[in-house]
């Protein structure tokens, strides 16, 4: 689950409320800016939670490499970097046992956004190109919209971990900033290894009940397969 909350204390309250219904948490930039980010990670680890550090490192490759090396000693499970070749090379060389995921294209981007950024290819081509390079360079996986996962599974080695954000158990709202979204069943049918769910749980009237409902949807999907 994505802990996109404005304070550490609110994140801790939600984790306690969710209890055993969630064991894997994504901790991103919003909580990084709240102070004591690594203290909170240690707090999660003390409760036997798995940690996905989603800071999307993007800097001079040597700087990213040193950051990943330092993070590899923190006992976290996954971390994100941007899918630039030199950055991926530096991170892959420094990651140790940490699994590094390359961001292909943010799920908030659509064709119009890519035009503004100067990309001539479509979203699917960009995602596939970056995923191929990530695997060749030595990253462990990618972050990809569920819309592109089936294509990745068709064209790339099954060793590549695929983490899919932008999961919406219900129809997407107009004010939602996530544009390329899928539901739980679609993500796993397309071949995702992990999904990231944030707002649908965080904003639910009963977050634990929603988390348990999504867990059941996952179990149902695997029982079908």
pLDDT tens digits for range 51-87: 999 999 999 999 999 999 999 999 999 999 998 899 9
User: The whole model's pTM is what?
Assistant: 0.87
Q: Report whether pLDDT(106) > 80.
A: no
Say how far apart CA 74 and CA 71 lie, in whole Å.
5
At residue 133, the pLDDT reads 93
CA angle, residues 140, 142, 148, in degrees to nearest 5: 140
Q: What is the mean pLDDT of residues 174-202?
A: 80
Catalytic residues: 56
- How many of the other CB atoms lie within 10 Å of CB of 165? 25
SS3 203: coil
SS3 28: strand
Angle between helices 146-155 and 123-137 (to 10 degrees): 50
All structural domains of the chain: 8-224 (3.20.20.70)
Q: What are the pLDDT digits (tens) for 18-29?
A: 999 999 999 999
- Which of 118-122, 174-178, 180-184 has the lowest average pLDDT? 174-178
What does the DSSP 8-state code read for residue 121? S
At residue 202, the pLDDT reads 95
Chain center to CA of 164: 6
List the structure tokens of 90. 């530096």
Say how far apart CA 118 and CA 8 lie, in whole Å.
37
């Amino acid at each position: 689950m994505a802990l996109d909350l404005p304070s550490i204390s609110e994140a801790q309250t939600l984790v306690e409320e969710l209890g055993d219904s969630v064991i894997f948490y994504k901790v991103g930039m919003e909580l990084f800016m709240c102070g004591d980010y690594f203290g909170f990670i240690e707090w999660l680890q003390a409760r036997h939670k798995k940690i996905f550090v989603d800071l999307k490192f993007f800097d001079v490759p040597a700087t990213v490499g040193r950051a990943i090396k330092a993070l590899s000693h923190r006992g976290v499970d996954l971390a994100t970097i941007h899918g630039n070749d030199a950055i991926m090379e530096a991170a892959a060389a420094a990651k140790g046992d940490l699994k590094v995921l390359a961001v292909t294209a943010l799920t908030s981007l659509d064709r119009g956004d890519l035009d503004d950024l100067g990309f001539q290819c479509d979203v699917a081509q960009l995602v596939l190109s970056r995923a191929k390079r990530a695997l060749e360079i030595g990253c462990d996986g990618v972050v990809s919209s569920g819309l592109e996962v089936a294509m990745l599974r068709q064209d790339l080695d099954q060793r590549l971990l695929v983490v899919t954000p932008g999961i919406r158990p219900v129809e997407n709202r107009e004010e939602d900033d996530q544009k390329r979204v899928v539901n739980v069943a679609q993500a796993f049918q397309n071949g995702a290894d992990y999904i990231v769910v944030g707002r649908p749980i965080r904003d639910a009237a009963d977050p634990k009940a929603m988390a348990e409902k999504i867990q059941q949807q996952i179990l149902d999907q695997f029982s079908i397969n």
